[in-house]
Each structure stands twice: as structure tokens, then as C-alpha cells.
Structure 1
């Protein structure tokens, strides 16, 4: 027996996936376990990277990153630099540890990156007066000015790549990607449980 979608977003997602009409996007899971797909979208015997959601997302992310980096060259920013710079600008991180987590870098990689950013005059590291083990990061005036270009470039690049999409298409796509991300996070959380 086919389960009915539980919400309008489930119905939208099912309609957007060929062959998924009339099936639940995920089966009910016991507390503390991750939900699982009611449909095996991929099978080893006919797996093709060209139809893989992961492969397609990776190609899109790479294209957006490369074009954004190309456009940000004018203000002297590389992809590795604009991402942490923008996180600092938005206030999503203020310490080396927070920024490393947010950029998915290890402490050594973040230290080397901050060395380059400091050499460019974009930020400075300041040891916390409350806890000497904590190193805060502050944007300089040059860092603030460079960061202002980032949302302009990212908006332009993504809008160009979404040419021909309606607002409804965009909302559906964003919702589906959010659902995938929620599944990824749930899967990661369940793997960490004993």
C-alpha cells in the first residue's frame, strides 16, 4: 500500500522525482534512528555518475565556485579566502576554531589561510582577554570592503545559472536540497551514536 505524503513539501518532492509519485519520501523511523528511503533510486548494476545527484551537485558547486573566484580576482580574493572572509563579515564565526569548523578546515589549514589573509591586510588575530587560549579574528577596514563584493558576485553568478527557472522552480529546488541536507545531517548524527 502506498503511503500518502505527509505535507505539501513531500508532495512537491515526490512529483519532482520521476517514478516517485504515490510513494512516501521516507519511511517512519524508530526514535533515535535515521529515516531511510522508501525507494532505491540507485542500483549498482545500472549506476551512472551522470545521473547521480551527488555528481550533479558537485559539478554545480565547482562551477559556481570557479566563476565566483574569477569575478572576485578583481578584489584579490581566492575561493579559499572569500568563504571565511564572508563568514566573518556575516558574524557566523569570530574565533579561529569556529571559522575552521564553518569552513571545514583543520586547525593547521585555517592557520595557514589566516596567515595569507593577514598578509593581505584583510583580518587580524587577537588573543581573547578573557581566555588566553581563544584567538578571535577581526576584519580590518580592507576586509570589510572586500567582503562587500562577495554577496554581489554570488548573487549574480547563481542568478545567471538559474536562468529560465521560475520562482516556484527555485523554491522547489531549494526545498529539495534542504531535505537532502537534513538527511545528510541525520545520517551523520546517527553514525556518531554508539
Structure 2
């Protein structure tokens, strides 16, 4: 396996572990904070777009949204012209939690990028976006039930 992907995975797991521990006091279970913040950043988003944004399948997204709704972090509203479609918003409780999560995210990013210049951060961001775009092609393919050629 490429050292690049190992490093990215290691960073992601470490930050996810920190977040899961620190957000426990908010009564958010593993990964729910990602959904909450994306809804806060995109008020009125529909579940299908949220699932695409987070790179998860529809059933995983649906389960997370049910839990967040039950816990009072988000609310779902039906569209007037399409009763099957719902749009998502954070509640006051959700906004408070999202604000806390955003502060933690800013702190983690500051710590992670300490010692890098603005140009280095811009270069790194460009590289990571390029990698994500490459991976997105495979993600879309596999999501549709197809297989990659190894």
C-alpha cells in the first residue's frame, strides 16, 4: 500500500478517534458529528445530497438522520410539492453542538497544519483535492455495483 494512503488513513483515524471521544459529552455517537455539521453548513439539504457529500450509502445516511432527529439535533421538513422528499435543518440544540464541533475542527486543523506556510497549505490542499477527485471516480463506479479492474 502506498505510504501516502497510509498517512492519510492514519490522520483520518486519529482525528476521528479524538472527535468521537470529545463529542461523547454531546451525546453524539460515532460519526454523527459529520452529518450534523454538513447539515448546519447546508441548511435545507436533502438526504440524497448529504449522503453524496459524505460518501456514504443512502441506508447509512438514513440511520444517522433518524438518530439525530430522535436526539433533537436536526429536524426534517417535507417538501410541499413532493411529500417523499425531505429537507434537513439543525435545531437550536443542533446549532449549539455544531458550533462546538466547528471550534474543535478549527483547532484540529490549526494543530495539524502547524509549521506549514500558507503556500504549503495551498499546495497540500490542491494535492488532496486531486486525490479525492481520482478516488471519486472509483467510488461512483463501485457505488453503482460495478467492480474495478485491478
Q: Normalised by the size of structure 1, how large is the TM-score?
A: 0.63
The structure-2 alpha-carbon separation of the partners of 1:104 and 1:182, relative to structure 1 and needing over 3 Å to count, comes to closer
Q: Which structure shows the bigger proportion of residues in strand conformation?
A: 2
Moved more, 136-145 or 100-109: 100-109
In the alignment, structure 1 segments of 5+ residues that lack a partner are 1-48
1:69 equivalent to 2:20? Answer yes
CA contact (8 A) 1:64 1:158 kept: no
Q: Which structure shows the bigger proportion of residues in helix conformation?
A: 2
Larger Rg: 1
Cα distance in 2 for residues equivalent to 1:128 and 1:71: 35
Which residue matches 1:139? 90
Number of residue equivalences: 143
Q: Secondary structure at the match of 1:153?
A: helix
1:176 equivalent to 2:123? Answer no
4+ residue runs of structure 1 moved beyond 3 angstroms?
182-192
1:110 equivalent to 2:61? Answer yes
Q: Normalised by the size of structure 2, how large is the TM-score?
A: 0.79
What displacement does 1:56 show?
1.1
Cα distance in 1 for residues equivalent to 2:42 and 2:58: 19
Q: Secondary structure at the match of 1:125?
A: strand
